[in-house]
Amino acid sequence: MSWSTPLKLHELARGPVRLRLAPDAAERAAVAKRLGLESLPALTADVTVKPWLDGVEIAGRFDAVVEQICGVSLDPFDQPVEGEIAVHAVPPGSPHAAAPEGGELELDPDAPDAPDILAGDAVDVAAYVVEHLALEIDPFPRKPGVEFEYQPEEAETSPFAALKKLTEPKA
């Protein structure tokens, strides 16, 4: 089972659509598995979808609690995650889409991102929430208060170690 909230583009003709998304336990479990999390105890998103050129603009924010495994202690722990969603998407064949593959594309790091190209005449709002959640998750999770302490092994002292130092050529 996966979490999906499709919205047809023609539904935006009457104006912006405001959505409060909150997947149930089975949908959160599917999202957690997809993102490589231990679990996803909570996820809610408040999103506004409105017309933009010949496509849509999705704007809002999400709040979640993710359960990850600490990279140091290997203990599971919960961590709050929040983020903003700001996306433009256009239908296939739109004149506002980015240059086709093989065409020249100028990259300007300060320019806004090119709009996404939808697969059809609907936008899956939940998929954009999951995508933005994935971008906010710490790829190297560390449980609060856990410190990584490395102590190099002490070199073994033996009578042969002292002889080796005497026989090494001096620089």
125 within domain boundaries = yes
* Domain region containing 106: 6-167
Number of domains within the chain: 1
Residues 6+ apart with CB under 8 A from 6: 122, 123, 124, 125
148 within domain boundaries = yes
Output the pLDDT for position 167: 78
Where is mean pLDDT largest: 2-6, 40-44, 163-167? 40-44
Contact 5, 126 (CB under 8 A): yes
Q: Percentage of the chain surpassing pLDDT 90?
A: 57
pLDDT confidence bin for 100, thresholds 50/70/90: low
Say whether pTM exceeds 0.85. no
Rounded Cα–Cα distance for residues 165 and 138 (Å):
47
pLDDT over 70 (residue 103): no
163 within domain boundaries = yes
91 within domain boundaries = yes
146 within domain boundaries = yes
1 within domain boundaries = no
Q: What average pLDDT does the structure give for the chain?
A: 88
122 within domain boundaries = yes
78 within domain boundaries = yes
